[in-house]
Copies of this chain bind each other. A is one copy, B any other.
């Protein structure tokens, strides 16, 4: 490969002059610029990224760490981040943690080796111990996304998870449901903890006594949610509604319903968190608490690039995005054996 030296020779100027032309970092006369650019074009020179990064101390690399790129929510987030970064002259490294905190730490190491200029981190744990490990492993501007982590100084962008939980429960209660099952994620992850806490609070607010057996943690994985759904449906007194705390777990629950030969919403109402790209191809169409993925991702990467450019320390600011309840066909008034709050709803 051609180097900057080859360009310099070809153009008959010094190496530093070529550098000045490429980066427009110093005044260069018109005709020298022309000569250098011609030399670059004929030689086919492309700067060496690693050499640039080494010398300038600026890799112009952004790390994106997320649980699983095959989850449509995360792939959309990654997509948005990539687009914004590209415009700003950064490249992105996208890596999957598989919800494994050990793997998360390993990826963090790799990011540090690459000397990334900043990171968007969708962490798999939220507890303070994990927060401390994170702080020890992170030495660049970082924005936490999607889930919160206790006791870190970084900016945090999340859904208003409490509101999301309340929105769904309120909706189901209004439809007359009182035996509401919840397929939850994993204790110790803020998206689980906060959404679940909000659900419980909402249930109590409506005067519904909590049945612990109706709450099953499914680790945010589709298959476990499927099994949880089966367990719930096999009960002597099955719930009249299931609320799944993530998009994949909603799919798991729906599969359980189908496998059991039940009809939604006649036999059971189903609500989830996180919308789908083409809701109409599912049957029934899913009532969900939608997460504004694109807006959140744009905000997060904007905040990160800001922090990098301004060289300001993180403000430790938490930004919540409002969820939106989208009512579709999967939720309906509870069937008549149950007491109805609103007779018109049937």
Cβ contacts under 8 Å, A78 to chain B: 69
CB of A46 closer than 8 Å to a CB of B: yes
A258's nearest neighbour on chain B, judged by CB, is B280
Q: Are A69 and B79 in contact (CB under 8 A)?
A: yes
Q: A1-B139, A72-B72 are in contact. Are A282 and B282 (CB under 8 A)?
A: yes
Cβ contacts under 8 Å, A92 to chain B: 93
Q: Are A69 and B72 in contact (CB under 8 A)?
A: no
Bound-complex Cα distance A128 to B112 (A): 41
Q: A54-B51, A79-B69 are in contact. Are A255 and B283 (CB under 8 A)?
A: no
Q: How far is the CB of A42 from chain B (nearest CB, A)?
A: 14
Q: Are A46 and B281 in contact (CB under 8 A)?
A: no
CB of A343 closer than 8 Å to a CB of B: no
How many A residues have CB within 8 A of the partner chain?
A: 45
CB of A59 closer than 8 Å to a CB of B: yes
Chain A 62-73 per-residue mask, 1 if CB under 8 angstroms from chain B, else 0 = 000000111010
Cβ contacts under 8 Å, A51 to chain B: 50, 54
Q: Are A281 and B278 in contact (CB under 8 A)?
A: no
Interface residues of A in 1-59 (CB under 8 A from B): 1, 46-51, 53-54, 59
Q: Are A113 and B47 in contact (CB under 8 A)?
A: yes
CB of A192 closer than 8 Å to a CB of B: no
CB of A95 closer than 8 Å to a CB of B: yes
CB of A254 closer than 8 Å to a CB of B: yes
Q: Are A70 and B70 in contact (CB under 8 A)?
A: no
CB of A152 closer than 8 Å to a CB of B: no
Interface residues of A in 142-174 (CB under 8 A from B): none
Bound-complex Cα distance A251 to B279 (A): 11
Cβ contacts under 8 Å, A1 to chain B: 115, 139
Q: A50-B59, A93-B91 are in contact. Are A251 and B79 (CB under 8 A)?
A: no
Question: Nearest 4 A-B pairs (CB), nearest first?
Answer: A283-B283, A50-B53, A50-B50, A50-B54
